Structure 1
């Protein structure tokens, strides 16, 4: 199962051909049980995040109620963390900033956001020494990183609870980009890059044993 979003395609297309019959509910439970563990393993393997963070939020509906998905990426597009909240006020921004610092264990040089005032208030309280650039359009990379989530939200016909959305999207955001390189590559480089990524994935998921040290 190559990423959480690939699991449902595997059920629909490949697994029946191999004589393996499981339901969507079974795959959902697999994702809930193992997804975050695998995402944490990938996080430990990735390079230290860049010192420029781009933050954005997007409106989502959960059982018909408006909620907000906060997301932060570095300059390379690596997702640093996500947070689903019911509001976009100072308290939500402050909590997201604190989650980011705890998750990355580092402090950025600069953060880039849109003009939402909540960002400025939380920034002055949580990380006042960090430069804050507030401008529409500067955080396009963060906005673009919402697109895979939108596609998955549509495929799943929405989320049923805040906790369910937080749990799924935290794992999904850590796994899915691993199998979708953002940079343009030649075919040969792409194959080499994906082979390396799948090798790490196999180690994390236990498909192969990690190399032993002498």
Structure 2
């Protein structure tokens, strides 16, 4: 865990941490966070909120990922179209069968090279190969698996891959709220930080009892406080 330094910032660490959590956890704009802080008597510009997210977001995301358990060996891969800076691009996503976001990658193509890049990042990042991979019927996946020698069972079909397709929804909501991403770099930075926060606070509340939900919420907040702790 890497402690964060909030030195040379006008506001206390607690305010910065709270503003970043509001922005990443909920479907809020910079201006929405500014309004919520103003209700508490904290006068912060939305541009300051944006700079806090850019400055501290990647380090917080890295700390959150270090605390996550190993993913399930059953992975779901999918890609969706996004318009970034007026150009159509693809957001490639990998999740496990429990909804944990494993990787999100912004790419210009929807081909074998793009599928290869996603798989290589996944294998390097997690250090283990899946036992089963579910995708849609894009043939680029099969070609990429053969090139890297992946022996996992490969299932294809739209309905079988609902887990990955549904996982795009939070990013779609944020994309609309942000009035689309402005550049590939900013889009990649945002989805990487957002996915780490999403994994921490995605509690599958419809599958658990109320007392268990309260316990999981306490655990999620403890993980957040540990990831944003001061040096």
TM-score, structure 2 normalization: 0.84
Judged with a 3 Å threshold, the aligned counterparts in structure 2 of structure 1 residues 200 and 171 are, in CA distance, closer, same or farther, namely same
* Aligned position for 1:117: 139
Distance apart, 1:83 and its partner CA? 0.4
User: Which residue in 2 is equivalent to 1:46?
Assistant: 68
SS in 2 for 1:139: helix
Between the aligned partners of 2:149 and 2:72, the Cα distance in structure 1 is: 16
45, 56, 63: which is aligned to 2:78? 56
* Structure 1 partner of 2:6: none
Partner in structure 2 of residue 194 of structure 1 = 217
CA–CA separation in structure 2 for the residues paired with 1:182 and 1:126:
34
CA gap of 1:149–1:53, structure 2 versus 1, over 3 A, is same
1:1-214 → structure 2 map (5 Å cutoff): 1=18, 2=21, 4-6=24-26, 8=30, 9-13=32-36, 15-184=37-206, 185-206=208-229
C-alpha deviation, 1:154, in angstroms: 0.5
Extract unaligned runs of 5+ from structure 1.
Answer: 210-214
Is the CA contact (8 Å cut-off) linking 1:5 and 1:152 kept in structure 2? Answer: no
Distance between the aligned counterparts of 1:104 and 1:42, measured in 2?
15
CA distance in 2, matches of 1:16, 1:166: 30
RMSD: 1.6
Unaligned 5+ segments in structure 2 are 1-17
Task: Please give the per-residue CA displacement for 1:133-180, whole angstroms capped at 9, x wherever unaligned.
Answer: 122211101111110000100110000111110011111011124223
SS at match of 1:77: coil
1:106 Cα deviation from its structure 2 partner: 1.2
Figure out how many residues of one structure are paired with residues of the other and give that number: 207
Q: Distance in 1 between matches of 2:63 and 2:210?
A: 27
Aligned to 1:212: none
**Which range moves more in the overlay, 182-191 or 134-143?**
182-191
Q: CA deviation at 1:5?
A: 4.4
Instruction: Name the SS for the 1:138 alignment partner.
Output: helix
Question: What does residue 15 of structure 2 align with?
Answer: none
Distance 1:183 1:54, change over 3 A: farther
